[in-house]
Structure formats: structure tokens, C-alpha cells
Amino acid sequence: MTRKLFIKTYGCQMNVYDSERMAEAMGGQGYVVTETPDDADMILLNTCHIREKAAEKVYSELGRYKGLKAAKPDLKIGVAGCVAQAEGEEIMRRQPMVDLVVGPQSYHRLPELEAKARTGAKALDTDFPEEDKFEHLTARPKAKRGPTAFLTVQEGCDKFCAFCVVPYTRGAELSRPAERVMREARDLVERGVREITLLGQNVNAYHGHERGLAGLIRELETIDGLARIRFTTSHPNDMDDALIAAHGECEKLMPYLHLPVQAGSDRILKRMNRQHTAEQYLRLIERLRAARPDLHLSGDFIVGFPEETEADFRDTLALIEAVEYGSAFSFKYSERPGTPAAERAQVPEDEKDDRLQRLQALLTKQQRALQDAMVGREVRVLFEKPGRLPGQMVGKSEYLHAVHVEAQGIGAGDIAPVRIESSGPNSLGGVLMAM
């Protein structure tokens, strides 16, 4: 009997990948994905613990399903991901309507947990099993895919930044063997994927290939039909010489890098346990741009970290001025229970708000300047889907800019040269060049 599965995904690209794999695992149990919870036989929340009040948002979302559960007693409700890992038993205590809870390292066990829940029992699994979950998942169905895909190659983190819960919810750094990654990559390409983004909490700490992430990228370059390679998210301390060289030498590795620094003050970086200085980060950027002069950079920034002063914040603004980011993610510091920073003196909320507005104004100015500078340039666009207007197609440039064109005869998965003629707030407009 066919059942319907509704998955709501929070957070990062790795959760998007995990949700895809969970859907595939449940597909082997007769489930098909639905876009609405109203007609679902199972609702699964794949959660993230990074953002402020993450757990409370999950409880709020669960509260919305009480009516559905009352009207449909056979409906099964599950919580997966990092909030599940951190608060598994508490979730079931606070929300008795939840039937199963599964952590991010155990979701290959989801079918057996669902089977247990079908008997009326509660199912909880937040272990860190030794077996490779990816090898225990149902093989991906051979349906066609869109032109881009995520592929997780590394999980967990050993850095223990003072603000971060990832080491506690995802566990220690673990890399998938290169041969398994290559097998999955070839399967994706066979089904229409042209661009693969390699994922990891600390992806450049990947050690599943004897030559690290750079070695894996160079091997992926040999796959016929794979046109583009990206990776995220990186730590500055794991950006080794081989990976820097790959940015200049690997044709399929795109000239875009997300390299979080979090702050520009050495005092705050030390308090964050980042294990590098602002100067070391800036010198690393110089080396990367020497290898690939047109490299566009993205970063992460936290403002209002405990004990941050105005002088510390100005150091962060100075670092941003020096780097010139093409895009960035920025947040006010929020306490994550169980992390060292949560126990320290907190910056007042009004100061956090003020600093975030000033920082985002600078980042927006840089982003617009770099985007406006694309006007008149020729880029190669991987087209992904139709645009809002008839005959319009939308895709991504090498630099991850969204680009829209009027393109007759162009379809999803095609790569074509485009001359950029306009720059908007969130996208570029262009015209198709002769192939």
C-alpha cells in the first residue's frame, strides 16, 4: 500500500541532502513524497540546532499538527536532525504526539523506527553507530535529476568552536571513502546532474582520499558529463597547499569559495577557539587569489559574541573591507546550551542589533559593487529552470550569481555563454551569446 511522506527541512544544505536520502529510504517502505502535510501518513521534521531558539521553533511547528493527529490517529510524526540529537527524550516528553525521534547519524534506521512506531510503540535512536549510514541506505532510484545536486562527503567537526553545537550533535569528523563518493557521483551524472556540490560540516578536513579533498576533486574531474564542482563549508585551518593549488588548476572547480572567519578581532577569535588569527586568514585569502585571481568569496560572521567590544567589532569591519566579499551570512550571537560561550557575559541585545545592521550594510555594499562589476562581462551559465516570464530561463554563473535570460531552445542542464547586461538586487540579467 502506498503511503505519503511529508518532510520539512530546516537549516543547511546537508539537511537538504539528508532529507533526500530519508525520502529514498522510506520509498523502499512504500512511501511517496507529498508537498503538503494535510494528506500525509507520516510527517518528518528534519531539524537544525544552529539558529536561535531552534528547539522552540520545532515545538511550535509540532503544535500545528495536533489537529491533524487528532483527526487522523494513524498519522505518524517524527523529528530528525540535530535538535533530535540534542533533545530526543525531551521532545517526546514535551510532545507525546511524536512517534519517533532519530539523530542525523542514525537516519538509515528510519524504516525500522517507522515500523516500530506502527505497532504503537515510541521509537528513539540518537546513537552514533559505527556502521556507515550511507552504505545502509536504499539505493537512489534511477529517476532523472535536476542539473545540480548535493553530495555529502564528510560529517562532524573536531574544532569545538565555543559557539557551536555541531561536535555534539553530528559527532567527530568522519569522511566517506573516495570510492563510495565516486560511485554516487557517477550515478548522479548518469541521471542528468551537471554540477555537484560536495558537502561537509568541515568539508576541507576530508580524508577519505589519500590526497585529501584536493585529490577527490581531481578524481571527480575525470567523470565525463560532470561539468562543475563546488564544496562547502570550509575551515581556514584545513585549507592546505594542495587545495589552494586545485583552485588554480582544476577546470571544473568553480571560482567561488565559502570560507567562514566569524570575526576580525584576534581577541574574539581566540575566545571563539577558532585557532587562527585575522592576519593568518587574510594571508590565506591572498594565496587563494594568487592561485585564482577571479575567485569570489563568501563568509560567515557573528556579531555580539560574548565580551565583544566596539573595538573588536571595528576589527571585523576592517577585515571585511580588506577581503571584499561577494556574499556572506551574518547573525547575532545566540546562546547554544552546552557550549562554552553560553556561560560567558553576554552583549546587550540593542548593541547586537546595531552592530548587525552596520555589518550587513557594509556586506550589502560590497555584494552590490561586485555584482554591478559583472555588467559587460561574459559568463557561462548552467541553466536550471524556467524563469517567471515566458521564454525566460534561470541558472547560475561560475560565481554562483543567479542569471536570467530570454533563451529560446535552452533547457535545464544546458551550459551556455551569456553577456551580462543588468544587475538587480539578487540576480543578473543577460543575453545569450553564440555557442
Domain span at 351: 133-372
Query: What pLDDT does 184 receive?
Result: 93
The answer to whether residues 294 and 413 belong to one domain is no
In degrees and rounded to multiples of 5, residue 50 shows phi and psi of -80, -45
In degrees and rounded to multiples of 5, residue 90 shows phi and psi of -65, -35
The C-alpha atoms of residue 309 and residue 312 are separated, in whole angstroms, by 5
| Ranges of H-type helices in 250-300 | 266-272, 278-291
The answer to whether residues 307 and 322 belong to one domain is yes
Q: Three cell numbers at 14?
A: 546537508
The answer to whether residues 156 and 285 belong to one domain is yes
Torsion of CA 410, 413, 419, 425, to 10 degrees: 110
Query: What pLDDT does 81 receive?
Result: 83
3-state secondary structure of 401: coil
Query: What pLDDT does 56 receive?
Result: 79
The answer to whether residues 368 and 320 belong to one domain is yes
The C-alpha atoms of residue 52 and residue 56 are separated, in whole angstroms, by 9
Residues contacting 387, CB < 8 A, separation 6+: 393, 394, 404
| CATH number (domain holding residue 386) | 2.40.50.140
Final residue of a domain: which of 100, 125, 150? 125
The answer to whether residues 182 and 163 belong to one domain is yes
Query: What pLDDT does 48 receive?
Result: 80
The answer to whether residues 295 and 310 belong to one domain is yes
The answer to whether residues 352 and 383 belong to one domain is no
Stated pTM of the model: 0.82
Query: What pLDDT does 10 receive?
Result: 86
The answer to whether residues 329 and 344 belong to one domain is yes
The closest alpha carbon to 188, from 216, 133, 229, belongs to 229
The C-alpha atoms of residue 231 and residue 256 are separated, in whole angstroms, by 9
The answer to whether residues 417 and 321 belong to one domain is no
Query: What pLDDT does 47 receive?
Result: 85
Query: What pLDDT does 59 receive?
Result: 85
Query: What pLDDT does 148 receive?
Result: 96
Asked if residues 252 and 226 have their Cβ atoms less than 8 Å apart, the reply is yes
Q: CA angle at residue 77 from 71 to 81, to 5 degrees?
A: 155
Instruction: Report whether 48 belongs to an annotated binding site.
Output: yes
* DSSP designation for 17: H
Instruction: Report whether 250 belongs to an annotated binding site.
Output: no
| CATH number (domain holding residue 306) | 3.80.30.20
| CATH number (domain holding residue 89) | 3.40.50.12160
Query: What is the full per-residue pLDDT of the chain (435 aa) written as tens digits?
Result: 789 999 998 877 888 888 888 888 898 888 999 999 999 999 999 988 766 566 778 888 898 898 999 999 899 999 998 888 878 888 888 889 999 998 887 888 888 999 999 899 998 887 765 556 566 555 555 566 889 999 999 988 999 999 988 888 778 899 999 999 999 999 999 999 999 999 999 999 999 999 999 999 999 999 999 999 999 999 999 999 999 999 999 999 999 999 999 999 999 999 999 999 999 999 999 999 999 999 999 999 999 999 999 999 999 999 999 999 999 999 999 888 788 998 899 999 999 999 999 999 999 999 999 999 999 999 999 999 998 888 899 999 999 999 999 987 899 999 999 999 999 988 999 999 976
Final residue of a domain: which of 321, 339, 372? 372
The answer to whether residues 195 and 79 belong to one domain is no
For the chain, how many residues are written?
Answer: 435
Number of structural domains in the chain: 3
The answer to whether residues 116 and 245 belong to one domain is no
Final residue of a domain: which of 108, 125, 142? 125
The answer to whether residues 327 and 418 belong to one domain is no
Asked if residues 30 and 2 have their Cβ atoms less than 8 Å apart, the reply is yes
